[in-house]
Amino acid sequence: MAFLSDSLARVKPSPTVAMTGKAAELKAAGRDIISLSAGEPDFDTPQNIKEAGARAITEGRTKYTTVDGIAELKQAICDKFARENGLSYTQAQISVSSGGKQVLFNAFMATLNPGDEVIIPTPYWVSYPDMVLIGGGTPVFVQGNPEMGYKITPEALEAAITPQTKWFLFNSPSNPSGAGYTRAELKALTDVLMRHPHVWVMTDDMYEHLVFDGFEFCTPAEVEPALYDRTLTVNGVSKAYAMTGWRIGYAGGPVELITAMRKMQSQSTSNPCTISQWAAVEALNGPQDYIRDSREAFHRRRDLVVAGLNACPGITCPTPEGAFYVYPSIKDCIGKTSAQGTKITDDETFCTALLEETGVATVFGAAFGLSPNFRISYATSDTVLTEACNRIKRFCEGLR
């Protein structure tokens, strides 16, 4: 009898682990490493939110709560969906979990059966395919179009739908490409979904507030209200309020699905951290200045990084609409040899050589299912980003 489970065998080891390990090794050996691989804002959680968490502790709000969230937080989430997304949910339609990651996980575990397909646009956030595989489903990839900033076309979505399709997983702005779908682009996708009533929509709106140049964020159930009854709208406070460590994510959706997700959570983690729930109430109901300030900083950094990368020979970097990532192509570097003699055969060899020769740690595109590219997180200071771009430029100029 095997000790380890079959579902574990379906999970691939993270392709980013080797890169992270290599960066740590070089750092320990005294090398000056710039890490551009973090998936979290470099800002501190706003003071009013921290104080709400501290208050919850001193006032003794430190016990179990109802499984999928306190009424106060659910109401704050209903108000947020109504205010910012034009979506009307009741508290019974809201689920709160330990991060957006658990929300997505619960939804897949509660709905997937063997043979069910989940359509995932590439490049994708690394956890999506593995969550689907753990749940016994089959990921079906639809390739993003480099000419469209790595967004997918309605034709490609249509072609991927089969009678087995259970979910279409949508993420805008995207991790890792930063691509944000305009209302017209999203409507073209929802029009396809309207022709396939058996397909449900899971939308991961985690980067909703990080959009630039006046880009208007929109979400499927708002763009096509007829999809409301088969859409799970997922969001969270991690990226919007620099609260990654507090672990609060949430979703709005049909009662039957939300109830099934609660059942799943009730037998695994129970309620998300009580203190964090009270902090999240403050995040959603309190002053929203942090969102504006962080958006301005990320906008400036995006422009800095896009310009810096496009000045590197062999790199083409689209200007993404949002998030805090860029996803440049290194197509024109493939086949070349680095200054220290590494043959660049794919994005993994590019990122490894870049790390070893310049100390800049990034994540190669194969980890996100679309190559030859790499991801840079620009959630770090302007000074560090400028230095990183200079090093990348020198590396590219050295390719022969």
Residues binding ligand PLP (CB under 6 A):
39, 99-101, 125, 171, 175, 204, 206, 236, 238, 244, 249
Query: HSE on the CB side for 134, CA within 13 Å?
Result: 16
Q: Least distance in Å: CB of 40 to ligand PLP?
A: 7
Q: Least distance in Å: CB of 24 to ligand PLP?
A: 20
**Residue 239, SS3 per DSSP:** coil
Determine how β-strand 94-97 pairs with β-strand 249-252: antiparallel
* Amino acid, single-letter form, for residue 51: E
User: Which of 175, 294 has the CB closer to ligand PLP?
Assistant: 175
- Report residue 211 CA to chain centroid gap: 14
Q: How many helices (H) and strands (E) does the chain have?
A: 14, 12
User: Which of 112, 399 has the CB closer to ligand PLP?
Assistant: 112
Closest CA to 210 of 39, 15, 365: 39
* Amino acid, single-letter form, for residue 251: A
User: Which of 26, 38 has the CB closer to ligand PLP?
Assistant: 38
- Residue of minimal Cβ distance to ligand PLP: 99
Q: Least distance in Å: CB of 181 to ligand PLP?
A: 14
- What is the Cα–Cα distance from 364 to 361, expressed in whole angstroms? 10
- What is the Cα–Cα distance from 214 to 198, expressed in whole angstroms? 35
**Residue 170, SS3 per DSSP:** strand
Q: Least distance in Å: CB of 85 to ligand PLP?
A: 17
Q: Least distance in Å: CB of 248 to ligand PLP?
A: 7
Q: Least distance in Å: CB of 125 to ligand PLP?
A: 4
Q: Do residues 152 and 144 make contact, with C-beta atoms less than 8 angstroms apart?
A: yes
- What is the Cα–Cα distance from 124 to 109, expressed in whole angstroms? 19
